[in-house]
Amino acid sequence: ALWTAGFLAFPLAGLAGTAVVGRVDSPGAALIGGAVAGLGIGLGQTLAGRGRLDVRRWVPATGIGMGLGLLLGAVVVGYGTSLPDLALMGALTGLVLGPAQALALPRGTRLRWAWAAALPPLWALGWTTTTLGGIAVDEQFTVFGAYGAITFSALSGLLLLRLLPERPAAGSPPAPAPVGARA
């Protein structure tokens, strides 16, 4: 539930990206605006993750992945804002962002590449939901709005619950290292 509440990071990070670059209507705006928004989203996700994501790894991975992903997606669709354009842009953003974040997931994460595989359709769904919600997507935002963010956060949160290693209870001794693991 807390991960879903982290959806608030999306519109706030989007405002930051837009404040820095304006519309996503050029390669530079896509790269820089995407990176700024990604840093904000990554920070919000680490806060919502309640210590399960390492801020030193997750935030930079999200900023870099989103900057490069938005650059790829926006250029491919020619900065278009139709529903098919934004769905494709979202999928391409997720295609780059997913592996970046998968590499930043904590040690012991089960099937970390499932995260990478899930992000393209989830980001496409985020843009689709925002567009169908009547948001003025023709303003070329850096990230989808609250409708898409709630949808993305709820679904990705369910996936993260399945993938992340269990947290030990407070006061319990740490789990032993796997046989053959280095110290």
Question: What is the reported pLDDT for 179?
Answer: 52
Give a yes or no: residue 181 inside a domain: no
Q: Is residue 67 one of the residues assigned to a domain? A: yes
Q: Which two tokens stand for residue 128?
A: 């689709």
Q: Exposed, middle or buried, 138 (CB in 10 Å: 0-12/13-18/19+)?
A: exposed
Q: Is 79 helix (H, G, I), strand (E, B) or coil?
A: coil
Residue 62 lies inside a defined structural domain of this protein: yes
CA distance 18 to 61: 20
Average pLDDT for consecutive 10-residue bins of the chain (183 residues)? 78 95 97 97 90 94 98 98 97 98 93 96 96 92 91 92 72 48 45
Nearest to 32 by CA among 3, 4, 60, 71: 71
Q: How many domains does the chain have?
A: 1
Cα–Cα distance between 179 and 53 in angstroms, integer?
24
Domain carrying residue 141: 1-163
Residue 67: closest CA among 41, 105, 49:
41
* Domain presence at residue 172: no
Handedness of CA 68, 21, 127, 11 (dihedral sign): positive
Nearest Cα to 45, choosing from 30, 60, 29?
A: 60
CA distance 138 to 63: 23
Structural domain includes residue 183: no
137 within a domain of the structure (yes/no)? yes
> Would 143 be classed as within a structural domain?
yes
Q: Judging by beta carbons within 10 Å of its beta carbon (0-12, 13-18, 19+), is residue 47 exposed, middle or buried?
A: middle
In a domain, 176, yes or no: no
